[in-house]
Structure 1
Amino acid sequence: MNIQPIKNVGFISTRIAGTDGVSLEIEKWAEVLKRNRFDCFYFAGEIDRDGAISFNVDEAHFEHPDIVSINKSVFGVTNRSRETSNFIHKIQEKLKSALYEFRKKFKIDLIIPENALTIPVNIPLGIAITEFIAETGIPTIAHHHDFYWERDRFLINACQDYLDKAFPPDLHSMRHVVINSPASEQLSHRLGLSNTIIPNVYNYAKEPEGLESYPCELRNKIGIKEDELFVLQPTRVVPRKWIERSIEIVHSLKLPNPALVISHASGDEGDEYYHRIMEYSKYMGVKIIPIDHLIGSNHANNDKKYT
């Protein structure tokens, strides 16, 4: 058997930008791979990496108008129109062609779909990746963060055939990685897929760069005095993060000016939970301070961001 050496690794996702969990994990994985002399390249609908190693396709983004339209047509309903099916296939073919171009341009030896074969926020992309792998046999590490069965909004749908096919698929050249043991058990139980657990991690041995006066500046900017307790919820405002518990903890601390700082917005999961949390925080007498507009993956030069 002729085994080809692997040098160039292609990360594939809907978005590789900002401070969402998937983008941050891509950065960590890429750092480890580059340390071991692999070269990394990126395919997505939004990318904040060097343009020389990036391949941007608008339709790969889950916020692209066509993808938003498809999602409205297939989730929360039980039947889809023929037109919707044809539209999905049309975009899928465009994305699959782009994947072939991506592979050719950067001589990709291995791909790492990051959550793109896990959560169906972009069905055409998931199908395109699945067919691309099936047609090429390219070595693949499917990195799974959030399965569709973990989100209520995907349970009623008119696209179960697509979910069964691509979220995630079972292909001979693919290995599956999950981020925790419950996900591992569910993937094995539901689909019979063996997998490896690699938890999301943080490199505590690495000193933060350029701290200087950033923490004090942030306190001043959001109105927390130096002698007041800074309580941070470093997550998005989504139900599974149980923001209610954090509000209750802050309430129980009996602080002079009880406040909870939340680092990220709700993202692609809507604002219903956010509004509910804001009402609950008022009832509990805890001020919510959202700082998602100030948070970035790196300190920016012009528009200062906090990491």
Structure 2
Amino acid sequence: MNMALLHYRGGLMDGVSLEMDKWKKVLEKLGHNADIVAGNKKEGVDNYIEDIGFENKLYRIINKNAFEKLEDFTEDELVKAIELESDKLLKNFEKGLEKYDVIFPNNIWSLGAFLPTAIALKRYADLHPEKLFIAHHHDFWWEREYFLNSTSKKIEKLLEYYCPPVGKNIKHMVINSIAKEELKKRKNVEATVVPNVMDFEEKSFIIEGLNKKIREYYDIPKNSIIFLQATRVTRRKAIELAIDLIEVFNKKVKDKKGEILYNGERFNGEILLAFSGMCEDDVYFDELKKKAKELNVKILDMYNAVEKGIWSFWDLYNISDIITYPSILEGWGNQLLEAIVAKKPVVLFEYEIFLSDIKNSGLEYINLGNEYEMIDGFVTVNREILEKAADELIEILFNKEKYYGIIERNFEVGKKYFSFNTLENIIRNLLK
């Protein structure tokens, strides 16, 4: 069958784009023709449909009036503008989706990031009962404060009706059990839980010797300790916790200079926190840099090399000794799986979905706890937790048997529960 993985955007490093890439591989392995269809022209997008995404000229103005402040329209004029744009986008869908038998809308019917697209797609589904729509809900509008601040009851009603909609030819997928329960409560529909997955058979981005090559590019000695923050730079990632941890670790590891690391190198005393993800909040990143300077934590931003194509996002996992994942809010956790496939130990904060959907799998990690408070705009955890985590890090990084034991056991857990085989089985059931 011909299948479309549909999103506002594709070919990027956001979680939805990454998941669609994985779905494409699995669908093609199952014998289907699968295209990534999006509203942006980017390498990795197979079919471009104009104006359904964030490049639509009306995107910012409609959203500003719908969720921030009515300035350009009255309430009725705003609804009318949304309807008119939906009429136009319906025509775009008629042309762009014609050849597909099964369409997987990603977030379009859940996040409500551009209401005209959600409305147009529902109308298209109603006009084509012969097509199957399996909606993949990664994030819901009721989970984001921005979308909760709707300027009118009419906008709220549109969100409630279309995000997500209900229809005979529409099935629903969510990425965690909490979302499944909430969707059942709100819309009385049953959803299939689909965890994030990784290809545990594909090791092409773990190339022997690449660690050394990239470190030489950045003039980093092979016997330094590198923490990698591989997420995007945005506040919910709570990257300040990684800085706090490294500050404690720096003090505890001083007397380890000259001792042998897990990889056989003699530790030179240098510790870096490297960033490989795109920055989505410049103000926040500046705050992090200031905090790191005050706490004597050295940082390195490597994303420019990704943007320029010097290194891939995947390559940069191989520069690190350990991955920091202190996020306090995740729909699932792509970077966690990436770290497991890349065979790196992980430091993580036990965010809600990790506790409900992932922890029982048996993954091993350095724990930053599951409670925090906000102090001066930063997420903070108890100092004792940081002290304990730093001690565990030292035990792992200076113990070859322990280090490799953890990463190999985690790899097997990931392969068992979060591999492409898991996704294949789910897709087969959805297509029955």
Alignment TM class, shorter chain as reference: 0.7 to 0.9
TM-score normalized with structure 1 length: 0.84
The equivalences for 1:158-307 within 5 A come to: 158=151, 159-209=155-205, 211=207, 214-254=210-250, 256-267=269-280, 270-295=281-306, 303-307=310-314
SS in 2 for 1:203: coil
Residue of structure 2 aligned with 1:119, choices 88, 111, 124? 111
1:35 to partner: Cα distance: 0.5
Determine the C-alpha separation between the residues in 2 that align with 1:243 and 1:50: 29
Determine the C-alpha separation between the residues in 2 that align with 1:286 and 1:77: 40
Kindly indicate whether the alpha-carbon contact (under 8 Å) linking 1:77 and 1:156 is maintained by their aligned counterparts in 2: no
The residue aligned with 1:20 is 14
- Equivalenced residues, count: 291
Determine the C-alpha separation between the residues in 1 that align with 2:299 and 2:144: 25
The residue aligned with 2:56 is 64
Determine the C-alpha separation between the residues in 2 that align with 1:274 and 1:65: 28
Cα RMSD of the aligned pairs, angstroms, is 2.5
Provide, for residues 4-50 of structure 1, a one-character-per-residue CA deviation record: whole Å limited to 9, x for no partner. Answer: xxx01011111111221111110111111100110012321124356
SS in 2 for 1:46: coil
Going from structure 1 to structure 2, the CA distance change for 1:135 and 1:295 (only over 3 Å counts) comes to same
Determine the C-alpha separation between the residues in 2 that align with 1:274 and 1:131: 41
SS in 2 for 1:108: coil
Kindly indicate whether the alpha-carbon contact (under 8 Å) linking 1:11 and 1:43 is maintained by their aligned counterparts in 2: yes
Kindly indicate whether the alpha-carbon contact (under 8 Å) linking 1:265 and 1:290 is maintained by their aligned counterparts in 2: no
**Does residue 1:153 correspond to 2:146, yes or no?**
yes
Provide, for residues 43-84 of structure 1, a one-character-per-residue CA deviation record: whole Å limited to 9, x for no partner. Answer: 211243567xx3313412214332112111111237962333
The residue aligned with 1:100 is 94
SS in 2 for 1:231: strand
Determine the C-alpha separation between the residues in 1 that align with 2:249 and 2:144: 32
The residue aligned with 2:132 is 139
Going from structure 1 to structure 2, the CA distance change for 1:11 and 1:220 (only over 3 Å counts) comes to same
1:122 to partner: Cα distance: 1.8
Letter in 1 for 2:78: T
Stretches (4+) displaced over 6 A = none
Going from structure 1 to structure 2, the CA distance change for 1:58 and 1:238 (only over 3 Å counts) comes to same
SS in 2 for 1:62: coil
1:287 to partner: Cα distance: 3.1
Kindly indicate whether the alpha-carbon contact (under 8 Å) linking 1:14 and 1:44 is maintained by their aligned counterparts in 2: yes
SS in 2 for 1:48: coil
Going from structure 1 to structure 2, the CA distance change for 1:304 and 1:163 (only over 3 Å counts) comes to same
Determine the C-alpha separation between the residues in 2 that align with 1:84 and 1:10: 30
Provide, for residues 152-199 of structure 1, a one-character-per-residue CA deviation record: whole Å limited to 9, x for no partner. Answer: 222111221221122211222111111122222222233332111111
Kindly indicate whether the alpha-carbon contact (under 8 Å) linking 1:92 and 1:125 is maintained by their aligned counterparts in 2: yes
Kindly indicate whether the alpha-carbon contact (under 8 Å) linking 2:20 and 2:36 is maintained by their aligned counterparts in 1: no
The alignment-based identity, stated in percent, is 28
Letter in 2 for 1:277: L
Kindly indicate whether the alpha-carbon contact (under 8 Å) linking 1:149 and 1:155 is maintained by their aligned counterparts in 2: yes
Letter in 2 for 1:136: H
Q: Unaligned stretches of 5+ in structure 2? A: 254-268, 315-432
Letter in 1 for 2:189: L
Kindly indicate whether the alpha-carbon contact (under 8 Å) linking 2:277 and 2:313 is maintained by their aligned counterparts in 1: no
The residue aligned with 2:23 is 29
1:223 to partner: Cα distance: 4.5
Going from structure 1 to structure 2, the CA distance change for 1:279 and 1:76 (only over 3 Å counts) comes to farther
Going from structure 1 to structure 2, the CA distance change for 1:140 and 1:218 (only over 3 Å counts) comes to same
Determine the C-alpha separation between the residues in 1 that align with 2:83 and 2:204: 45
Letter in 1 for 2:122: T
The equivalences for 1:74-113 within 5 A come to: 74-77=66-69, 81=74, 82-104=76-98, 107-113=99-105
Determine the C-alpha separation between the residues in 1 that align with 2:47 and 2:161: 25
Q: Unaligned stretches of 5+ in structure 1? A: 1-6
Letter in 2 for 1:103: L
Letter in 1 for 2:158: Y
TM-score normalized with structure 2 length: 0.62
Going from structure 1 to structure 2, the CA distance change for 1:261 and 1:125 (only over 3 Å counts) comes to same
Letter in 2 for 1:71: N
